[in-house]
Amino acid sequence: MNAAHLTATLYGTPSCRRYRRMKSRILQAAEQSGTALRLEEVTDTQALARFNPLSLPRLYLNGDLLAERNPPATEEILRHLRSVR
């Protein structure tokens, strides 16, 4: 897959520490790997209502769930970015 088509979708609330950490790590991994990544942030209360609040934040990479609740290590995200490129 072409790196230009990678999309990360982050569900949660920006006031959440885990959300901010997850966002920071996906952006850091994309920069380290030289991956062009589009980050979509879903923070709307109605959109988040479909998830169990205890499973937030959630991070998807090209529609596949990469992490929920606890932010993955940057190295783990890098592995996933390389596997879809």
All residues at 6 or more sequence positions from 85 whose CB lies less than 8 Å from its CB, including other chains = 1, 2, 3, 6, 35
For the domain that residue 80 is a member of, what is the CATH number? 3.40.30.10
Position 27 scores a pLDDT of 96
Instruction: Report the share of the chain in percent with pLDDT over 70.
Output: 94
What total number of domains does the chain contain?
1
All residues at 6 or more sequence positions from 25 whose CB lies less than 8 Å from its CB, including other chains = 71, 72, 73, 74, 77
Q: Give the pLDDT band of residue 1 (cuts 50, 70, 90).
A: very low
How high is the mean pLDDT of the chain?
A: 91
pTM strictly above 0.85: yes
Domain extent at residue 30: 3-84
Q: Give the pLDDT band of residue 32 (cuts 50, 70, 90).
A: very high
Length of the chain: 85
Q: Give the pLDDT band of residue 4 (cuts 50, 70, 90).
A: low
